[in-house]
Amino acid sequence: MSFQVKEVKTKPYDGQKPGTSGLRKRVKVFQQEHYTENFVQAIFDAVDLKGKTLVIGGDGRYFSPETVQTILKIGSANGVAKFIIGQNGILSTPAASNIIRKYKADGGILLTASHNPGGPNADFGIKYNVSNGGPAPEAVTNKIFEKTKAISSYKVIELPPVDLSKKGFTTYGPSNVEIVDSVQDYLELLESIFDFPLIKDFLQSHADSFKVLFDGMHGVTGPYGRAIFVETLGLPESSVQNATPLPDFGGGHPDPNLTYAHELVERVEREGIHFGAASDGDGDRNMIYGKGAFVTPSDSVAIIADWAAEAIPYFKKGGIKGLARSMPTSAQIDKVAKKKGLECHVVPTGWKFFGNLMDAGRLSICGEESFGTGSDHIREKDGVWAIVAWLNILAYANKQSPNQLVGIKELLEKHYAVYGRSFFSRYDYEEVSAVGAQSLVDAINVHISTGSLSRTSHVSKSTGQKFSVTDVSNFDYTDPIDGSVSRNQGQVILFEDGSRVVFRLSGTGSQGATVRMYVERYVPPEAGPAELNKDTQEGLKGLIEVALQISNLPEFLGRDKPTVIT
């Protein structure tokens, strides 16, 4: 049977340049006539998917259902042989990466703006992943962008919409369509990685002394959390909250940090919950928080790396090939790598840089300070994976310590006693003036080019600490696998005592500019518990004061306080 392919005339839109995490704009931008269709067609013009298999999924945010149908119309007209779609269009980003890899699909289109708010007046995003399950590399996203600038028409096959709620097989025009369970394949993957019987035994035997709370933040991971914590591990329904995905995330901001996951934090403290965890809109980020114990993402990946080969079956069997972090992330994981004799890579922000190392067999566990943690089981960061990894480690640690309960706080203190502690915090200044943000960057670049900050000393007025600058630079990265060079990935101010401050302009928002300031100060284990176990902001107070002073950030951005502190 032949199906009529209709060609629709169009004109290019400016600014359809996908970043590390795809194209993100306000919903109303995507709703403009031909806007979404142009970008989807540009994907098919840039990537040959004729006769191939394409995965479609997303976090369920506003404007997702109709965009799935748009992809079916355009993809079918461009010759896609088969679509694999998550039920109701729902697939967490890690689950989509797994499905691409498991079923040997040729790529995937993910409808998500990650941790950004959803709703008719909020954000939407379209992201293309390649056949290894990871984000499209720059060569592909640049090609897509070039196609958007020259597009004059797009192809469609107009047919009644596919019922996304019905699992099973159907067709759309000449293309086969399979609607799959959003959770099952991912749950099976985690069960092959972690020691679920050990975790379940620990949780069941400590039902009264060790309580768990998972917060889906009304993002995509609610159904995954319920399947894991309630249905598989046997925890009560009260151990999950905000577990129904909503198009506007319940009016919240689905970013798992101390500011936006306050509902989790408050309940953990109020009820004395030992293990709390949250994931973001599309499921690739996570936060670990127990009563009186917040785990920074930098510490989280270091602790997982430290325990993995001993506690987690996947790494017991396959070993650890190497470790890595994004450049702004603290160097805590470097200390673990050095002690264990492992290679440790420092890469620019963006998960695609980890993917190259994984595909080359040189990386097993990695993380970003932006609450992203993961391993080589897929090619995306994986929030739920990190949460279950922590439970696996805690269950194992308690098996080794039958007479004393080991919780998050105890695990952190034990880690610091061995490796020392990298006090770390990130200050986010969101939706600031783009002109002010660029002026800040330009001013630091002047210091880099002239060396005017080097060998200068600065004293904190509040703590009396002295910080002497040894170097100011832009972070450049040459990929050891493909030789590609990424320049100007963050401005770094290094101090004599090993402390550092990093400034970056972020590209993950949909409007305005976001400036991120990362502050890190290392304290060796010899400093002792009183110094190692200080509150993060107390440990960094003097350095933060000096960083704001020498950068003139408040003056450039017109902000006295950050939007978010993590």
Q: Provide the annotated active-site residues.
A: 114
Q: Please give the structure tokens belonging to residue 36.
A: 């979404």
Q: Do residues 86 and 56 lie in contact, with contact meaning Cβ atoms separated by under 8 Å?
A: yes
The H or E element that residue 461 is part of is none
Q: Would you give the DSSP letter of residue 135?
A: B
> What is the rounded CA–CA span in Å between residue 464 and residue 458?
10
How do beta strands 212-215 and 240-241 pair?
A: parallel
Q: Please give the structure tokens belonging to residue 55.
A: 């995965």
Mapped onto helix, strand or coil, the DSSP state of residue 72 is helix
DSSP, residue by residue, 380-429:
S--HHHHHHHHHHHHHHHHHH-TTS---HHHHHHHHHHHH-EEEEEEEEE
Mapped onto helix, strand or coil, the DSSP state of residue 147 is helix
Q: Do residues 213 and 237 lie in contact, with contact meaning Cβ atoms separated by under 8 Å?
A: no
> What is the rounded CA–CA span in Å between residue 549 and residue 425?
17
How do beta strands 466-474 and 457-459 pair?
A: antiparallel
Torsion angle of C-alpha atoms 159, 164, 165, 166, degrees rounded to 10: 70
DSSP, residue by residue, 353-370:
HHHHHHHTT--SEEEETT
Q: Do residues 95 and 322 lie in contact, with contact meaning Cβ atoms separated by under 8 Å?
A: no
Q: Do residues 50 and 107 lie in contact, with contact meaning Cβ atoms separated by under 8 Å?
A: no
Residue owning tokens 């009820």:
271
Q: Do residues 190 and 217 lie in contact, with contact meaning Cβ atoms separated by under 8 Å?
A: no
Report which of 515, 544, 518, 370 is spatially closest to residue 442, judged by C-alpha positions.
515
> What is the rounded CA–CA span in Å between residue 498 and residue 468?
10
Gap between the terminal Cα atoms of the chain: 57
How do beta strands 53-58 and 82-86 pair?
A: parallel
